[in-house]
Amino acid sequence: MNSPVNMLPALADDWPFPLLLIEPKSEKILWANQASLEWLGKSLRRIIDKTPWEIISFEDIQTTIISKCRELNAPLTMRDCAVTRPEQEEQFCHLTAYPTEAGIGLSIWIAGPQPRSSKVGGQLVSGMGRMIAHELKNPLAGIKGAAQLLRDDVESEEGQSLIDLIGSEIDRIRRLADRMETLGDQDPENEDFVNIHEILRRARRVMQSANPKLIFTERYDPSLPHAKGDADTLMQALLNLIKNAAEAVEHLGSKGEISLETRFRSGVTSRNSNTGSAHLPIEILIIDNGPGIDKDIADQLFQPFVSTKPEGQGLGLSLVSKVAAAHGGIVEVKSRPGKTKFSLLLSDGANL
């Protein structure tokens, strides 16, 4: 029987996704697996000693992935890259470059006919934003006035704290309504460096105030830097994700659980016409143990008016995707029965 070490070359060659070995300095192809040759429609002899950029059409920023990997000596991923093969239509792929003893590996993962990114349905969401903002502004003043009247009748410290929470949320919604018209069409209006953990804790408190039975688990990485962005719009995006998770576990009763987590994620970058190219090391995860997302709508999940709920309007995740785009970030989802994970990846302000 062959040893595992002797089987490694065959394992790489049989890998079902395109995989290239690149010479770090010249960036020329040294080796390609069978999936690469089939994807390119060329023999190994035709691509050896050529750079990937001579064979496949990439955007300029994507051709820097090898040099960046070499400089950092660390894996680097670029998501939703527009790639055109010879005599083929444009595809979107995820590129991962990683250092090896033999050179730099370049893995190409096919993302599908269009990127599952945070830019879907932008114009439609902007139009809905204008309408929703107009409808929101009218009742806000009345709600805040009623909360102030309640303050005189509430004596407990907990009650006063809840009234303060109502007031601060009304102010936040008013600020958000003022900006919904342009949300995602430009950089966040009040961009700053924000403590994402403070925003998560506040979002959790808002949701738990509405439903005290919700069970939350919080796992935060205290070493994370502050995220670059707008606190109000990020708060709204996280509230939408947590609300979806809460609805997903509602039928589970005391067995339902929502996890709020943060962690450092290396090697992910994003290119945005507003924010340029930036590292996205800050990952925020909203995880629930609900039934999962129907595979039939998974690819359209971030489009407006797509919803898994009979009474849903299908605008919550569209807003989340628009907030992510406005911050130059990425929103991802992975789902199976018993576990759905939404990831919001944000910049710490460091450009490539």
Mean pLDDT by 10-residue block, N- to C-terminus, for the chain (352 residues)?
A: 47 80 93 89 90 86 86 84 79 86 89 46 52 61 74 80 82 68 51 91 89 90 91 90 91 89 84 64 94 72 54 63 85 89 87 56
CATH number of 4-112: 3.30.450.20
CA atoms within 13 Å, Cβ hemisphere of 221: 14
- Ranges in the chain annotated CATH 3.30.565.10: 122-346
Which residues face 334 on adjacent strands? 341
Question: For residue 347, how far is the Cα from the chain centroid?
Answer: 11
Residue reference for tokens 């809840």: 162
From CA 37, how far away is CA 107, in angstroms rounded?
13
Q: Say what the pLDDT of residue 200 is.
A: 95
Confidence (pLDDT) at 220: 95
Which CATH superfamily groups domain 122-346?
Histidine kinase-like ATPase, C-terminal domain (3.30.565.10)
pTM metric for this prediction:
0.55
Q: pLDDT at position 282, please?
A: 94
The Cα 209–Cα 64 span in angstroms is 48
Q: What is the DSSP letter of 293?
A: -
Contact predicate 348/305, CB 8 Å: no
Q: For residues 323 and 320, give the distance between their C-alpha atoms in angstroms, rounded to a whole number.
A: 5
**Chain region(s) in the chain for CATH 3.30.450.20:** 4-112
Q: What is the pLDDT of residue 76?
A: 86
